[in-house]
Structure 1
Amino acid sequence: MAQRKINGNQLFMTVLYAVAACGAVPISDLLDRASQRSDTLHSLSTMLTQDLDSHFPPIGRMIMPRPSMCHTSSLQTPNDKEQALQVSESDLMSLARSLLQAWSDPLEVLSTSVKTLPHPAQNSISNKIKELQEHSKSLGDGLNILSGKMGPAAQTISSLPYSGGNDIGQDRISKLTNFHFLLSCFRRDSHKIDSFLKVLRCRAAKLQPEMC
């Protein structure tokens, strides 16, 4: 199963590189492929959150940090689709790439921390975290190709360093709460990335705003 997923990612990149090399392929087709991958990424993060919710202590919800404490919160992004439609294509691509790159280290923290996570679905959660890393890497490579076709502004990356460290806590409540918080931040950002790419795909297809 794991080998099949890895091959799927490799196929995605092979196809993306191939179509990008062909000048006749519309950028809308490239964005469609990237949007499909981002949709998978967000769906997977949603499933992971649901897995954690099935065994999450009530006190954890009371002490969980606010969303404004996510390490990517300093990046100014559109709040909804209407605002996103007012942002230039290059800026939307830059925002999507900045958010995705900001999760390289935190996803590694989740991957390492899940090994000691006090949760009955630990193995399943661990496998899904690995899938998140694979899909994130694949999508990042794809967006690098797309940004190169969109000009210098789209290639700009905002630095959003993660300073949370590798330790998510020593006791059961801390581990579950901090793991859940970090994952919820990723779920929020993956939704933004998916939304930005869908707006870009919509614009490239020259659809009316109300159809986006």
Structure 2
Amino acid sequence: MANGGSNGRKLLITVLYMVAVCSAVPISDLLDRASQHSDKLHSLSTTLSHELDSHFPPVGRMIMPRPAVCHTSSLQTPSDKEQALQVPESDLLSLARSLLQAWVDPLGVLSSSANTLPHPAQSKIINKIQELQEHSKSLGDGLNILSGKMDQAAQTISSLPYRGGGNDGQDRISKLTKFNFLLSCFRRDSHKIDSFLKVLRCRAAKLQPHLC
């Protein structure tokens, strides 16, 4: 029992040390790290989408919902880089954090659905989904630290609940279509997150807009 208490204190000291170290890191360096994670996140989702496309039946494309049905579509975000450059830094970080938080549960759904996905590259897909979850967690932790260095607006996270995890369909095409649609929504949002963080990194470096 005493040993458990000692281990608990050591863990607490380690966590506090890491928080202190991260708090001392300049915003520009934190944004560099966050951008690396977001870039990897979008790259992984793109690679995974291409993997799925290789065995996605044409009829699935015809019945797949439009992007407007994605559970994050209600969040008002800049439509391009020019608009993103006009958004205050704290609000832009809040948007990135809101999108990332909205994918905690859906990524879990993708992970569980991948275990029964009727696709010849199933094992590779399972591994890549796990990588997405790991990078999302790491990025989320980094953005939480970043938000603490900015004003109150950066602390705000919009609620974007996901309610589509109940039934993934019984037939092969239904399963593939639902999985592909959910992944396409994530790919779209990971691109937004990556774009917002790159704009923030650019502005932190005080570069001219045309260089961003």
Distance in 1 separating the partners of 2:31 and 2:19: 13
- TM-score normalised according to structure 2 size: 0.90
Alignment of structure 1 residues 97-108 onto 2, 5 Å: 97-108=97-108
User: Structure 2 matches for 1:1-212, cutoff 5 A?
Assistant: 17=19, 19-22=21-24, 25-212=25-212
Structure ID, larger Rg: 2
CA gap of 1:176–1:14, structure 2 versus 1, over 3 A, is farther
CA-CA distance at 1:58 after TM superposition? 0.4
Say what the alpha-carbon RMSD is for the aligned residues. 1.6
Is the CA contact (8 Å cut-off) linking 1:102 and 1:161 kept in structure 2?
Answer: yes
Asked if structure 2 preserves the Cα contact closer than 8 Å seen for 1:16 and 1:142, the reply is: no
1:30, 1:46 → 2: CA distance? 24
Change (3 A) 1:78 1:14: farther
Moved over 4 A (4+): 13-19
1:42-101 CA-partner distances (Å, limit 9, x unpaired): 000000000000000000000000000000000000000000000000000000000000
Identity within the alignment, %: 80
In structure 2, relative to structure 1, the CA distance for the partners of 1:15 and 1:73 (3 Å cut) is: farther
Separation (CA, whole Å) in 2 of partners of 1:15 and 1:80: 39
Matched positions, count: 198
DSSP-derived class of the 1:37 partner: helix
Stretches of structure 2 that go unaligned for 5 or more consecutive residues are: 1-14
Contact kept, 8 Å, 2:55 with 2:119, in 1: the verdict is: yes
Contact 2:23 2:145 in 1 (8 A): no
Could you tell me the TM-score, scaled by structure 1's length?
A: 0.90
Q: Residue 16 of structure 1 contacts residue 30 of structure 1 at CA under 8 Å; is this kept in 2?
A: no
For 1:158-203, what per-residue CA distance to the aligned partner results, in whole angstroms no more than 9, with x for missing partners? 0000010232111000000000000000000000000000000000
